[in-house]
Amino acid sequence: MDRSIEEVNGKEEPQVRKQRPGHRATIRCGDVEFGDGDFTVVAGPCAIESMEQGLATARVVAKSGARVLRASLFKPRTSPYSFQGIGEEGISILEAIREETNLLIETEVMSVAQLGLLHDHVDMLRIGTRCMRNYELLKEVGKTRKPVILKRGMSATLKEFLLSAEYLLVDGNENVVLCERGIRTFETYTRNTLDILAVPALKELTHLPVIVDPSHSAGRRSLVGPASKAALAVGADGLIIEVHPQPESALSDQEQALDPAAFLSLMEELRTMAPVVGKSL
């Protein structure tokens, strides 16, 4: 007999675990849904760099049919000498983008201070891989009701990932979308190793939607397309993907951002493939 994978009402993660076989949540962000058969694409640059770059990217994202803009104002960087994000002054860029394109705005928060600053200006929060274990931040985001993308820590087990999500749910924020973004291994050809089976594995364990970040897992433009298709094929509920009007001059993640043409072309491919695997895009 198979190992039972749908343990009903897990004892250590009571809220994040499925309550019954087939239990699935749909998370709403404005008029967009994560879950319920949709393949939802969040797209945008690694970081908002300027009004011009922000608007240019937003137009491409809107043109593609995606509805949510990845729009980071603050960036966690391994080096203190790397570009740290445009910061608070970027808020006016977000407002301009929203006014022109009507896109929903998704952004990263790395501290309680940033949460306070950005909460009212965005539609969706993101807790990045470095913050998956930032429990003080999780507790504060848990007190909001804002939809939030929680990315897997770069060496987190699935159980630890779920326990971090539990921090959000236990404080009352049920609007959690999990994101697989690659784990750290010995392999160096890719930036991380995309753990593609984490998607169906998480769906065995939790009712929360699961999306994939093909850009950070691959770390190479040429592999972003295959990673995205793999995500769709295994039943992911969407993507968060990096697009930049001119990747070669981006202030960060130059090697993994798609240019507009490549992004639009990939969206077409995904649109063709989606119905075959039972998703709508």
- Interacting residues with a second copy between 16 and 75 (CB under 8 A): none
What is the x/- site pattern for a second copy, positions 227-266, by CB under 8 A?
A: x-xx-xxxx------------x------x-----------
Could you tell me the smallest distance in angstroms from the CB atom of residue 5 to a second copy? 6
Paired sense of beta strands 148-151 and 124-127, if any: parallel
Q: Does 217 bind a second copy (CB under 8 A)?
A: yes
Could you tell me the smallest distance in angstroms from the CB atom of residue 108 to a second copy? 12
Q: Does 271 bind a second copy (CB under 8 A)?
A: no
Q: Does 201 bind a second copy (CB under 8 A)?
A: yes
Q: Which long-range contacts (CB under 8 A, 24 or more apart) does 259-267 make?
A: 260/60, 262/221, 262/224, 262/225, 263/43, 263/60, 263/64, 264/60, 264/63, 264/64, 266/224, 266/225, 266/228, 267/41, 267/64, 267/65, 267/66
Given its phi and psi angles, is residue 204 left (phi above 0), alpha (psi -120 to 50 degrees) or beta? alpha
Residue among 102, 9, 22 at smallest CA distance from 55: 102
Q: Does 2 bind a second copy (CB under 8 A)?
A: yes
Query: Contacting a second copy (CB under 8 A), which of 111, 264, 265, 271?
Result: 111
Query: Contacting a second copy (CB under 8 A), which of 46, 110, 125, 281?
Result: 110
Could you tell me the smallest distance in angstroms from the CB atom of residue 133 to a second copy? 4
Q: Does 137 bind a second copy (CB under 8 A)?
A: yes
Could you tell me the smallest distance in angstroms from the CB atom of residue 241 to a second copy? 15
Given its phi and psi angles, is residue 74 left (phi above 0), alpha (psi -120 to 50 degrees) or beta? beta
Which are the contacts of 88, defined by CB distance < 8 A and separation ≥ 6?
A: 73, 117
Segment near a second copy (CB under 8 A); pick from 24-32, 39-47, 61-69, 226-234 = 226-234
Query: Contacting a second copy (CB under 8 A), which of 199, 210, 241, 250?
Result: 199
